[in-house]
Amino acid sequence: MSRDNDPHEIDRRPFGRRRFIATTGVGVAGVGLAGCTGGGGGDGDGDTTDDQPEETYTTSDPGEVTEGGRLVWAHSEQMIDNDIHLTSGESSYRVLSNVHEPLIGLNRDLELTTDPDAAQAGLASDWEASDDLLTYTFTLREGIMAHNGTELTAADVKYSFDRIRDPENGANNQFIFKKVASTEAVDDYTFRFTLGERFRRFIAYLAFYSSAIIPEGTGPDQEANPIGYGPFQWESRSVGESVIMNAFDDYWNDGPYVDTLEQRTATDPNARLTSVQTGDADITNDVPLPQISEVVGNDGDEINTKTWNPLCVGFILFNNAEPPFDDQNFRQAIDFAIDKQEIVDGALYGHGVPTESGILPPSKFRNEDLERRGPDVEAAQERFEASQYDPAEFELDFMVSPNYPWHVDAAQIMQQMLSQAGLTVNIEQVQWNEWFNRAFGGDYTITFVNWFEGWDPSYWLRNVMYSDGAYNMLNYASDDFDAALDNAATADTEEQAVEFYKEAQAIRHEESPIVPVWFREGALAAKQNVRGLASLPNPDNSLFRFEEVWLND
């Protein structure tokens, strides 16, 4: 299987997508864009072709691109760390995606691509997979420069993936790349993977920023000074406060248009929206849920807005290794006791929909046959009685962070619902960094989690619930679940793989190591002079690359 892109296409294209936006004024109110809510797949190459829902945004005609200026981004979360291969937080990926580039691109139809005009372009100009899906060969774009002044070669790609594969480094994607038998720099611009066993979704992992390419030898310095091939070059970070990035003059693609991108940590929802309304910040990625209906489409607020759905899936996370959640019946009882629609209405102000799965609709991998359990207090009590634990003997701490007020609200609503079923739950609020460290350290009993990468079924299911998944902080291990995912990975056909992924979701639903609750809507707001909102967010619906954004003054 091959992608027959001309390796020199970037040098010949007369009218790229960014130029189209600049000259035609795309971005008037009510324009429907290709949304980003599904994760289908082609014949082993990760392509997706599902129809997508619309996104909406309001802004005046953007006019021609104006270069220069400083864009201040009021970011809803605090970065965890700076190393793109080692970080575990979406908050860090959002910032670092402006510094780095993955090998494979992703378009807004969630198709893997090498098109330089795609919403997320990649560093490869072409790739080819062997018929047995064990060998993948990539041709690199020529003339791409890193922030340290070196040109991209296959040696940099090999270095990056060897670093990810090395278990001593603790990269989040190591559990996938350990399937790689060898990496080879065939020549300066040709790189090859050889897998030890088939893994049908392997190519999709190369489109995630957790697999970004870094220059050879820079691994030890990435935490202190992130170096990549992206549109912005790292300057400095004040921990908990801000990150400064400057436009990289030698960026291989169009943009960036602003001189400086400043990320300011703004975890207080009301304060970050106010900062845009008063002009202290230019853009914020997360409008507070109670204010979405007030500001979206309201031309009198002197701000532009954009909404999209879904931003992420939210789910209840149990520590499956600790009583009482090492008991399947006890876990199911929670699912029966809650009313997901009431939680969506009360905690999200209606800006979301209930869900039984973390696989984004309308993906062909999503199991639509999963039936919602609650609300059914009687059934919840029956499950409690069938478990080995008496709920009256437990007083559980539900750990949430006030950085996500809707998580606190959801926990409080569920506290009342669980009380009716006979279970006492206390709300434990901890700051984001503490929540992150405790959740990944297994120091919790029950908590609530956002997951932003539902476009690929393997990434969601393997990362969160596979026995050695990178984000398996719920301590879940199921031979049946693992076998279904392994069968999906090695299936002879894509159709067979789809059925195995659906089987894995059915097993998850029955064993209930987590309880998916909602898909949440996203909304951003920007000052009237901020242009290029059509480019935000990334196709994955959660990251924000600002090279197409400019200031019209």
* pLDDT tens, position by position, 516-553: 999 999 999 999 999 999 899 998 888 999 999 999 97
pLDDT of residue 41: 28
Is 392 inside a domain boundary? Answer: yes
What sign results for the dihedral spanned by CA atoms 111, 115, 116, 117? negative
| Orientation angle between helical segments 457-465 and 479-490, nearest 10 degrees | 150
| Structural domain containing residue 344 | 312-520
Decide: helix, strand or coil at residue 46: coil
Query: Does residue 454 fall inside a structural domain?
Result: yes
Contact at 8 Å (CB) between 40 and 364? yes
* 101 domain-assigned: no
Burial of 369 (0-12, 13-18, 19+ CB in 10 A): exposed
pLDDT band at 256 (very low <50, low <70, confident <90, very high): very high
Instruction: Kindly write down the DSSP assignment for every residue of 496-510, as one continuous string.
Output: HHHHHHHHHHHHHHH
Is 468 domain-assigned?
yes
Residue 46 has pLDDT above 70, yes or no: no
Residues 6 or more apart in contact with residue 474 via CB below 8 angstroms: 317, 318, 319, 320, 464, 465, 513, 514
Whole-angstrom distance between the N-terminal and C-terminal Cα of the chain? 47
Q: What is the pLDDT of residues 303-340, one digit of tens each?
A: 889 998 888 999 999 999 999 999 999 999 999 999 99
Does residue 75 sit within a domain?
Answer: no
Total of domains in the chain: 1
Could you tell me if residue 377 is inside a domain?
A: yes
Is 445 within the bounds of a domain?
yes
- Among 49-58, 71-80, 440-449, where is mean pLDDT lowest? 49-58
- Whose structure tokens read 């926990």? 411
CATH number for 342:
3.10.105.10
DSSP per position, 356-412: S-SSPTT-TTS-TTPPP--S-HHHHHHHHHHSSS-GGG-EEEEEE-TTSHHHHHHHH
Is 356 part of any domain?
yes
What pLDDT does residue 300 have?
A: 59
- Which pLDDT score is estimated for 5? 33
Alpha-carbon span 524 to 306, nearest angstrom: 5
> Which residues, including other chains, have CB under 8 Å from residue 15's CB and lie 6 or more apart?
none
**Residue 454 pLDDT:** 72
pLDDT band per the 50, 70, 90 thresholds, residue 370: very high
Return the axis-axis angle of helices 328-337 and 494-511, rounded to nearest 10°.
90
Mean pLDDT of 64-76: 95
Specify the pLDDT at position 507: 98
